Amino acid sequence: MDLPIIYHPDYVVPLPEGHRFPMPKFRMLYEMLLADGVAQIEQFHTPTQPLQELIELVHTTEYVNAYCQGTLDTKAQRRIGLPWSPALAHRTCVAVGGTILTAKLALESGLACNTAGGTHHAFPNYGSGFCIFHDLAIASRVVQQSGLVKKILIIDLDVHQGDGTAFIFQGDDSVFTFSMHCEVNFPGTKQQSDLDVALPIGMEDDEYLQTLAKYLPDLLTEVKPDLIFYDAGVDPHIDDKLGKLALTNRGIYGRDMQVLTTCTKAGYPVACVIGGGYADDLTALTYRHSLLHRAAGEVYQQCRL
Ligand SMILES: [Zn+2]
């Protein structure tokens, strides 16, 4: 067995010319993992679109209907930041299906990686910051409802605070939310996670990795989750257009190795999503995202999962 990786060709849909969301990166990631020999074709799993009732475990019926039917008002559309199309609505649901499948495969194999996901700015009744439906929250509810797990830990290392995650699971002891992000960044209004670590602008590799190491082991001991979701956003990278931290590729890879090794060696299954990443150089950006799958492949072999 090798590391399960989740991908669907429909992760990529056309956006208007010049749109700032780097949509092609999802297909480029799939292609890079194969071309670089990081993964073989047999390792890929294809998700399906989840039933609407599963999306409604987190989101209101009104919001799900309005989004899927393209009847959200202009203000709500603008807050999402992605132009609605039937293809994008379908893509949104397939990506949620991808994270649900990632969670199920992580429970079977110990570790699994999506090639999309991490839409952590979505709230129950509205979307925000390129996030429409909250894949991590929906997947959490789905695996909890199926009786496969009780306690979940969400480790969110995207450079932006997981505000939707914090809001959705506020006062819910069954899901522990941890967000380590740049303090001065989107979203303007932060929510309260179970543990927030706000980092100063410009933090570099070593200090970042030391900060993470200060929190991670205790967190595992304290929460003892049945499943961990890991949002491995690469927007803390120094060349990211929207992040304000200064990690290099070495730092991103070191971070992913630290998370996956610490969690896996302690026996906790980890479902990974790629999170945010923004750059004009799509090849460089895709490489940054691929560091997660490179690290996960390494850990998967090391730990003989
Ligand atoms: Zn982000």
Beta-carbon contacts of residue 203 (< 8 Å; ≥ 6 apart): 182, 211, 245, 246, 247
Task: Look at residue 229 and give its three-state secondary structure.
Answer: strand
Mean pLDDT (the chain) is 97
- Ligand 1 centroid vs 181 CA: distance in angstroms? 9
pLDDT score, position 107 = 98
- Ligand 1 centroid vs 234 CA: distance in angstroms? 8
- Ligand 1 centroid vs 1 CA: distance in angstroms? 32
The total number of structural domains that make up the chain: 1
- Ligand 1 centroid vs 77 CA: distance in angstroms? 19
- Ligand 1 centroid vs 277 CA: distance in angstroms? 7
- Ligand 1 centroid vs 236 CA: distance in angstroms? 8
- Ligand 1 centroid vs 269 CA: distance in angstroms? 24
- Ligand 1 centroid vs 279 CA: distance in angstroms? 12
How far apart CA 147 and CA 144 sit, in angstroms, is 5
* Residue 173: CATH number of its domain: 3.40.800.20
pLDDT score, position 264 = 97
pLDDT score, position 303 = 84
* pTM of structure: 0.98
Is pLDDT of 300 > 90?
yes
Using alpha carbons, select from 205, 264, 207 the residue that is nearest to residue 238. 205
pLDDT digits (tens, 9 = 90+) for 29-59: 999 999 999 999 999 999 999 999 999 999 9
Q: Give me the domain span that covers residue 35.
A: 5-302
Q: pLDDT category, 148, cuts 50, 70, 90?
A: confident
How far apart CA 229 and CA 252 sit, in angstroms, is 17
- Ligand 1 centroid vs 147 CA: distance in angstroms? 31
Is pLDDT of 305 > 80?
no
Is pLDDT of 260 > 90?
yes
Cα atoms found within 13 Å of the Cα of residue 279, Cβ hemisphere only: 19
Mean pLDDT of 62-85: 96
How far apart CA 47 and CA 100 sit, in angstroms, is 8
- Ligand 1 centroid vs 42 CA: distance in angstroms? 30
- Ligand 1 centroid vs 25 CA: distance in angstroms? 15
- Ligand 1 centroid vs 7 CA: distance in angstroms? 20
- Ligand 1 centroid vs 231 CA: distance in angstroms? 10
Mean pLDDT of 12-17: 93
Angle among Cα 220, 295, 266 to the nearest 5 degrees reads 25
pLDDT digits (tens, 9 = 90+) for 194-250: 999 999 999 999 999 999 999 999 999 999 999 999 999 999 999 999 999 999 999
What is the number of H-type helices and E-type strands within the chain?
A: 10, 8
